[in-house]
Structure 1
């Protein structure tokens, strides 16, 4: 093996290892940052409405790509909520979206909770911390066109990041 090939192989391996180590680490850190940034909002909404923080945060994480989606960044929309926006005016008409624009990230989270509170399953489920039951009811009511795939992906997020532990702080009681 020539010195050039050996150097090339080692260099390639070193670059690949660096990408795998730091690339994956950066991705994991973005998830931790997202949870850290929005967990207090999710807990506050949970204690006001009885919707588990794990449900609020798990759905937001999935549907906003951990806050990296264009909808989350440009419209403060963390839940894929359809509606009006003024994005075409801001960006000179180069980007259009059918998703609703919110004043802030917090407004997006609160609007999501209001939507859930209007559902038939809400009175039965409010104050119940069992996230899998919530997801089943949401899926059965047609929350997502992806159906059981969506349900499994959100449950995976909640489980992987132990978001269910946030539900232990539920102070909401059924009235």
Structure 2
């Protein structure tokens, strides 16, 4: 092969790689937008009922569920990586075993997560506070994720990348 052909092939491969990267980025952006639009009302409702920032709720759910694409999110409606019982072994055609809790629907998963957070000893000092970094710090110290500081960085990245902190401006929690 001549050097001219190799040069053209190299440019073609580089261009193809760039196009694939752009399309995959657009694809993941579309997943994120769809996920946020679908679950934003649930997160805002929970924020206003319980005092947990919607950014924290959605950021964790997006990370833990792969924006709703993980097997646990699709088969168990578990968007938070909550460990517990499920009935996957009883379902025909499902060759997937999981140690994660099964929920009736995604909203039930969001509600369970919120109730779990409200039972933490540090919750009363934070409820109604929209500082998502403070929430993630307390959750990390309480052992919410085994990934520790890396988990905090990833959730923070989700919150910032998709500007989820703007949802917290709708906080109407008054405490009770």
| Residue in 2 that maps onto 1:105 | 106
Match runs of 1:7-156 below 5 Å: 8-92=9-93, 94-156=95-157
Stretches of structure 1 that go unaligned for 5 or more consecutive residues are none
The match for 1:161 is 162
Q: Secondary structure, in 3 states, of the residue corresponding to 1:142?
A: coil
Aligned residues: 175
1:139–1:10 distance in 2 versus 1, CA, 3 Å:
closer
Residue 22 (structure 1) shift: 1.1
Q: Give the TM-score of the pair, scaled to structure 2.
A: 0.92
Q: TM-score, normalised by structure 1?
A: 0.92
Displacement of 1:4 in angstroms is 5.9
Whole-Å separation in 2 of the counterparts to 1:150 and 1:112:
17
In the aligned structure 2, how far is the partner of 1:87 from the partner of 1:137? Answer: 33
Q: Return 13-22 or 31-40, whichever deviates more.
A: 13-22
Shift of the alpha carbon at 1:146? 1.3
2: CA distance between counterparts of 1:21 and 1:141? 38
SS of structure 1 residue aligned to 2:144: coil
1:18 positional shift: 2.3
Deviations 1:47-83 (A, max 9, x none): 1100100010000011111111100011000000111
Note the C-alpha offset of 1:91. 4.1
Structure 2 gap ranges (5+): none
Q: Distance in 2 between matches of 1:93 and 1:174?
A: 44
> Separation in 2 of the partners of 1:5 and 1:160?
39
CA distance, structure 2, for counterparts of residue 162 and residue 46 of structure 1: 16
